[in-house]
Structure 1
Amino acid sequence: MGDEYKIPAGARVLITGATGFTGSVLVRKLVLMNAEVTAIARHSSNISALEKYPIKWVRGDVADPETVKTAVSGVEYIFHVAAAYREAGLPDDTYRQVHVESTRLLAESALNSASFKRFVHISTVGVHGHVDNPPADENSPFNPGDIYQQTKAEAEMWLHSFAAKNKLPYTVIRPAAIYGPGDKRLLKLFKMAVMPLCIILGDGKTLYHLVHVEDLTDAILLAAVHPLANGEAFICGSPSATTIEGICRVVANTLNKPFRPVHLPAAPFFWLAAMVESASKLLKIEPFLYKRRVAFFTKDRSFNTQKIREKIGFTNKISDNDGISQTALWYKEKGWL
């Protein structure tokens, strides 16, 4: 990132979701840029990995008015990264609080700061749901498929409307599937790739769009300061999508394992997942199979990511092949592969 569009040293920034995968990488970069970092973290959050950094911690809930008011006071930039991740039994209201209510509180509080410069809101490409005619772009219709995506879409739509009415400077980033060393998001798939037989539901050609966490956080930082990013939404991902089978093949090749894909029809697994979810809900237990996990193999996620490059000059530094290999080697180093 050039000095022309860079968070200035001494800038007062607030980050939510700082203890998460993306948030922790973003925090480290902000500290290295000599920003004055404030972070909101629940009392139950483990901040030990970030204790060595000069961070002002505000302990509390991101949807609590007093916590937010305290954290936002005097800041110039807000990076709203916090998210409620999908968990069995998590009430719908929890997603709404973390995604929608927190966005409202943060944005309204930002208006009270005379020196405020930019609200960077991290959404998700999931607001577009399944892409019938890939690739989708920023103007494609919203079609969220679950409560996580629905509340992310609600928060984003609210922010667009609120910012326009109140002249709040803001940018929305919709990341593709975030991955890289430090996260386990793709660990199950990587494990499948190195098994004697790699079981893939469907034909393996389902499109899957990735973004490496290092590239994503660079994009977030650029969007915070670039004048042409104000009021815009950007899909952030690799230049093009890959395939599920393609990911598995790179993993196997990286670890010098034979790659033997076996394709199974997905429909029976959808029926099984639906029955398992219904039964597990009645029994109040964690399902061993979800419909969304089956959908991972069958629903295309492919996006046109040109806008963020053409409008504000963002460039990806890590190719899918390099990032997948890097992540596979990290998993192996941890003893997980």
Structure 2
Amino acid sequence: MTAPRIAVTGASGFCGSAVALAAAAAGADVICLGRRPGPVGEHRFWDATQGAPDLTGADVVVHLAAAVGDPPPGRDGTFHAVNVDGTARLLTAVGDRPLVWVSSASVYTHSPAPIREDQPLGGLTAYGKTKAAGEALALAAGAVVLRPRAVYGDGDPHLLPRLRRAVRGGRVLLPGPDIALSLTAVENLADACLSAAGRPSAAGRLTGGWPPGAYNIADAVPYSRDAVVAAACGVPVRHVALLLARAVAAVGTTVSRLTRRSPALSRYALEQLTAPVVLDITRALAQDWVPRRTFADYLADRSLAG
């Protein structure tokens, strides 16, 4: 009996490695595609900015390769090359295989109500705009598109490390006021990816799988931003004026383009910290996916690890 083969792009990254490990644990053979080897399985080199990936033998594809965050100074085109053009190259190789394309809640415009999948798209940053354009191609090709919000967990290179670097004088300064927001544990995202792709069965086949379309992915309930940041950093939160933070981010972006250094506060980081994005995950829950992991679980594991 041959195990099903799941191809994971971006498998050396934070989210991609979690998906690859979860797929292997579920009994699948894993093909890791990217510039660097993934944590398990077979490695096949693929640079998303050029050429199509080798998907020979793959039964299903989970696409997580992406340019994330803010474009490095002078390299705005990289985001389009990876998130849009890379998607087009991927779709050429996928053919009629099932595809799970991992997007982001950064594709949404802001809304005061819980955001459903039919909320207008657009994005506020280069990342959000190029992810919206890339997922449009994937949806047109019949893919399942997952939209997580602010993924966290062990190995997170973006959200929590950035917050911890913001600790100054025994406190964290955040653009006020406090907001409710959705977060996504990387384990919940990995579980959604496998559920959407179809889980390996005892007969060596993939069973289940979600109908094509877009699905929000997040932890079961939203969080207080200030409570999460205070718990993660171990210090109290103090607020600064939002207009001041926006000015700092704008100046930092301009300076970074001149110096080619990353700004201390970027527009992407500001959006993550100030946009009250709460996702309605009803559509994903209807597929029998359950987000079991919470931010409290993550903190408890960190405490046990010392």
Tell me the TM-score normalised to structure 2 length: 0.86
Higher normalized helix content (fraction of residues): 1
CA RMSD of aligned residues (A): 2.5
State the 1:38 CA deviation: 1.5
C-alpha spacing 1:264/1:194, structure 2 compared with 1 (3 Å)? closer
C-alpha spacing 1:110/1:295, structure 2 compared with 1 (3 Å)? closer
The equivalent of 1:93 in structure 2 is 77
Alignment partners' CA distance in 1, 2:258 and 2:230: 39
Amino acid at match of 2:32: A
Alignment partners' CA distance in 1, 2:105 and 2:292: 20
SS of corresponding position for 2:273: coil
Alignment partners' CA distance in 2, 1:291 and 1:109: 34
Alignment of 1:1-337 (within 5 A): 10-42=3-35, 45=36, 47=37, 50=39, 53=40, 55-65=41-51, 67-68=52-53, 71-86=54-69, 87-89=71-73, 91-111=75-95, 116=97, 118-129=98-109, 131-163=110-142, 170-184=143-157, 185-190=159-164, 196-203=170-177, 205-225=178-198, 227=208, 229-251=210-232, 259-310=235-286, 312-327=287-302, 333=306
Identity over aligned pairs, percent: 22
C-alpha spacing 1:294/1:32, structure 2 compared with 1 (3 Å)? closer
Long gaps (5+) in structure 1: 1-7, 164-169
Alignment partners' CA distance in 1, 2:194 and 2:168: 36
Residue-pair matches, total: 296
Q: Which has the larger radius of gyration?
A: 1
SS of corresponding position for 2:57: coil
Alignment partners' CA distance in 2, 1:13 and 1:90: 35
Mean Cα deviation higher: 279-288 or 262-271: 279-288
State the 1:9 CA deviation: 6.0
State the 1:141 CA deviation: 0.7
Alignment partners' CA distance in 2, 1:24 and 1:272: 34
Tell me the TM-score normalised to structure 1 length: 0.79
State the 1:249 CA deviation: 3.8
Alignment partners' CA distance in 2, 1:99 and 1:329: 37
CA contact (8 A) 1:250 1:325 kept: no
Long gaps (5+) in structure 2: 199-206
State the 1:28 CA deviation: 1.3
Alignment partners' CA distance in 2, 1:285 and 1:192: 17
Alignment partners' CA distance in 2, 1:316 and 1:161: 27
State the 1:108 CA deviation: 2.3
Amino acid at match of 2:112: N
C-alpha spacing 1:244/1:191, structure 2 compared with 1 (3 Å)? farther
Alignment partners' CA distance in 1, 2:101 and 2:251: 36
Amino acid at match of 1:229: W
C-alpha spacing 1:161/1:284, structure 2 compared with 1 (3 Å)? same
CA contact (8 A) 1:9 1:34 kept: no
CA contact (8 A) 1:247 1:324 kept: no
CA contact (8 A) 2:160 2:232 kept: no
